[in-house]
Structure 1
Amino acid sequence: MSEFPDSASSPPSTVPVPPKRGTALRHRLAELRGPVPAKAMDARSLAALAVNPGCGRRALLDGAGVDKGAVAERLGAPAVSGQSQFAIVRGHAFEARVKRDGGAELLRLAHERLDPSAPAPGPDTARMPPLSAAGGQEARVARTALALREAAAAPGVWTLLDHPMLSLDVAGTPAFLEPDAVVVHPDGRWSVVEIKSFPMIDGSAEPAKVGAAARQAAVYVLALERVAARLDPAPEVDHRALLVCPKDFSNLPAAAPVDLRKQLSVTRRQLARLTRVEEIAAVLPEGATFDAEQSPGSLGAAVEAVPAAYAPECLSACELAFHCRARAREQGAVTAIGRSVRGELGGLTTVDAVLAAAAGQAGDPADPTVAALRRAAALRDEALGAVPGPARGSVLC
C-alpha cells in the first residue's frame, strides 16, 4: 500500500496549509506600510542601516519599505538632508573626467593602489564593455552578471564596468544597486570603485565622509559576492574598495584603498536582522500601520510603539532623526548626548538618574560608574568653590 493517498479518490484536505515564511513576511510588511507602494531601498539607504544597527524602528520601517521622509513630515519633524544641486553637478563632472578615454586613468589608479604587482593596463590589456541601460533593472542586472562572467573568463585583462547594476535581497524584496564602477583584475578578482567629489588633501580625506563612502561600498561588495557565488569557480571579491576623490583643491583624481571588513560585518548583521522584522513588528498594537495619510496621533502612536535607539549620528543618516531626537530629549535619555557617553554610563539611561547618582541621592556607591560620577561632582564643586561669586555664576550659566 502506498504511503501517499490517492488524490483522485481522497477528499480534499481541510487542514489549512500555512504560507511560506517569505510570503507571510511580505504580507505583514505590506500591512504595516499601508495602501502605498514600497519605497525601494538603494545603496545609500542600506549603508545608513550600519550607522545605527541597534535601532529597531529604522530596521522595521526600512524593511517594510516605508517612506520615512513622509512619516517625519506628517509628525511635524521633517528631515533636512540631501546634496545641493551644485555638489551633484560637480560630482558628475568629476566622475566623467575620471572615466574618460575608456577609463584609462581609473584603471591606472586601480593598478597603482590595489594591484601594483599585476601587469599595467594598456591598449591591449584593458577594456570597458558597454552596459546598456535599456530593458529595466532586472535586464541590467542580468547584463552585468554576464559581463562579469565574461571578464572572469578572460584572465590577464583589466576590465572596467561603468555603472553596473546589482541586486541584493532585503527582507524578501530585491534592492537594485548601481555602483560607480567595478574593476575586474587580470587575476579575476573583483573590486568596487567609489568616486566622490569631496577632496583628498595630502592623501587623506574627512573621516566622516570616508566612513559613509565605505559603508556604501560595503553594500556593493555584498551584492557582488552574491553574483560571484553563482560562478564556478567563484571569483574573489576584494574586501577593499578604491576611493577616488579630487586631489587637494584641483580637479585631478587621487585614489586610496579603503578596508571594508568592519563595514561588511556590520552590514551583514543588519541585513540578517531585517529578515526578522516580524519579531520587531510583534510589539505593535493590532491594526497599527505607518501610512502617512492617517492622523498624526495614530501615526505617532505606531511609530512610538517600536523601540528606537537615537544617537546624534542619526541626524546625517535617517529622515526620522529630528522626531527621535525630540522624544529622546523629552525622556531625558543619555543617548541624545552620544553613544560614547551612553556606553560609559552603563545602567544609568536617563540624565535624571545620572544627576541623582552624582549627587548621592541614588545608586550603589560600590558601582564604579556611580563612584566615578560622585568623584567628578566633588571635583567640580571643589573647582567652582575656588571661584569668586560673580565668576562662579558665570561658569554655571
Structure 2
Amino acid sequence: MPPQRTRERALRHRLAELRGPETQPKALDARALAALAANPGCGRRAILDGAGVDKAALARALGAPSAFGQSQFALVRGNAFEAKVKADGGTELLRLAHERLDRSAEPPTGAHVPDLSAVGPAGRAARTALALREATASPGTWTLLDHPMLALDVAGSVAHLEPDAVIVHPDGSWTVVEIKSFPMLDGAADPAKVGAATRQAAVYVLALEEVAARLDPAPRVRHRILLVCPKDFSNLPTASAVDVRKQRAVTARQLARLTRVEDIADALPEGICFSPELPAEQLTAAVEAVPATYAPECLSTCELAFHCRDRSRASGAVTPLGRPVRAELGGLTTVEDVLAAARGEAGDPDDPAVAALRRAAALRAEALRTAAPEVAPCP
C-alpha cells in the first residue's frame, strides 16, 4: 500500500479513537469552517472538528451547555422560504441571478436542474463535480444545482459542504447562492448577519475553486455571490450581489495556517477520548489536554465557548477581556501579572505594556486623590 494511503488510514483510525467507539462523525459545515478560520490558533476546536466530535453533546457532558444554534421556528421558516425561492424549477431564483449578476446574458426561460442524488457525501460530491463539468461543457443555457455537495481539504481532512445552490451561467461561470430568512429592508439587511452569510459563502467559493481547478480549461468561479432574502416584511424573495473577495482571501489564509489535524493528534497522550459517554472527570482531563485559544467571539460560534470561558476565568487569563486587550498586553498573560505590573511589583519597566500600565495606575491614583471629598472632623 502506498505510504500516503497508509498515513490516511492511520489518521482515520486515530480520529475514530478520539471520537469514541462506534460514534458516527459529525460532519463539518461551512459555518463551522468559517468559525474555525476566524480562530486558527485554537487546536482544541481543530482536533474536535477534524475528528467529527459532537461539540454540543460534549459541552453538555462537561456541564457547560450553550444555547448555540438556530431555533426550531427559524429552521422551519428558513426551509419554507427556501422552498418558495426554488419553486417551479428555480424560475424566480434564476430571474434574480440574471437581474443582479448577469444582465448581459439571455434571460432564463428555463433551467436544467440535474439530479445530484448519490450514495454518501463522497458520492454526492463526485456527482456534483460531474454535473458541473457537463453544464460547463454545454454553454448557452442556465443550470441550477440544488444543494450540491462540495469537498474541501481542511488541515489534512476532507470536509463535505452543502451550499443552498450553485448556478452555472450561460458563459460557463459559476455562482454560489446563499438563501437566508432574515429580511432585507429597503435593500439592506443586518450587517452582522450579512457578514456571517458572506464568510460562509466564501468557504463555498473556495470549495468550488478546487472543483474548477480539476477541469481543463478551468471555469471562472465568480467572487460575487447571490444573497437571497425576504423583501421587507413579506415572504417575497429579493436578492443582492455581494462581493466576497476579501472574505475569501482571509478564509483561505486562515485555513492554510491551521495546524494539521494529524500533528495535533500525534501530540496527544495515548488513550485520550472525547466521547460524551465518559465520566465528567475523564472527559474534562481529555479536553484540557488540547490547548485552546478562547476569545469572547467564540460565544457566538462555538458550542464549547462557555466551558473554555470558565476555564480561562478560573486560571486568571486575560483572554476573556478580548483579543484587542490581549494583544496590547504582550507577554502579560494573566490578570495577576497585569495588576503586579501596574503596581510596580513586577515587569520590565522598558516594556511598553508595563510602562503604559504604570502610567495608567498613576493617573488613576491621582484622579482618585483629586476627587476625594474632604471629610470634616467629628466635633
| TM-score (structure 2 length as normaliser) | 0.88
- Contact residue 108 and residue 120 of structure 1 kept, 8 A: no
| TM-score (structure 1 length as normaliser) | 0.85
**The residue matched to 1:82 in structure 2 has which SS?**
coil
Alignment match, 2:66: 79
- Contact residue 42 and residue 177 of structure 1 kept, 8 A: yes
Alignment match, 2:92: 105
1:211 correspondence with 2:195 = yes
How far apart are 1:182 and its partner, in Å?
0.7
- Contact residue 37 and residue 255 of structure 2 kept, 8 A: no
How far apart are 1:183 and its partner, in Å?
1.3
Q: Once structures 1 and 2 are overlaid, which stretch shifts more, 328-337 or 24-33?
A: 24-33
- Contact residue 103 and residue 128 of structure 1 kept, 8 A: no
Tell me the alpha carbon deviations over residues 174-229 of structure 1, each in whole angstroms, 9 at most, x when there is no partner: 43322111111222111101011112234333233222212221222222122212
Aligned pairs (5 A) from 1:193-204: 193-204=177-188
Alignment partner for residue 157 of structure 1, among 124, 141, 145? 141
Aligned partners of 2:66, 2:268: CA distance in 1, in Å? 24
1:45 correspondence with 2:32 = yes
Alignment match, 2:377: none
Aligned partners of 2:93, 2:99: CA distance in 1, in Å? 10
Alignment match, 1:278: 262
How far apart are 1:354 and its partner, in Å?
1.6
1:365 correspondence with 2:349 = yes
- Contact residue 334 and residue 342 of structure 1 kept, 8 A: yes
How far apart are 1:319 and its partner, in Å?
1.4
Alignment match, 2:311: 327
- Contact residue 156 and residue 261 of structure 2 kept, 8 A: no
**CA 1:60–1:19 in structure 2 vs 1: closer, same or farther (change >3 Å)?**
same
1:88 correspondence with 2:75 = yes
> Unaligned regions of 5+ residues in structure 1, if any?
1-16, 391-397
**Count of residues paired in the alignment:** 371
**The residue matched to 1:191 in structure 2 has which SS?**
strand
Aligned partners of 1:276, 1:172: CA distance in 2, in Å? 6
- Contact residue 39 and residue 65 of structure 1 kept, 8 A: yes
Alignment match, 1:302: 286
- Contact residue 156 and residue 186 of structure 1 kept, 8 A: yes
Alignment match, 1:131: 115
> Unaligned regions of 5+ residues in structure 2, if any?
375-379
- Contact residue 116 and residue 148 of structure 2 kept, 8 A: no
Aligned pairs (5 A) from 1:1-397: 20-35=6-21, 36-116=23-103, 118-123=104-109, 126-133=110-117, 135-170=119-154, 174-269=158-253, 271-272=255-256, 276-388=260-372
Tell me the alpha carbon deviations over residues 318-374 of structure 1, each in whole angstroms, 9 at most, x when there is no partner: 111111000011112111111111112222211122222222222222222222222
Superposed CA RMSD: 2.5
Q: Once structures 1 and 2 are overlaid, which stretch shifts more, 171-180 or 61-70?
A: 171-180
**The residue matched to 1:238 in structure 2 has which SS?**
coil
Q: Percent identity?
A: 72
Q: Once structures 1 and 2 are overlaid, which stretch shifts more, 317-326 or 278-287?
A: 278-287
**CA 1:54–1:389 in structure 2 vs 1: closer, same or farther (change >3 Å)?**
farther
Aligned partners of 1:44, 1:373: CA distance in 2, in Å? 38
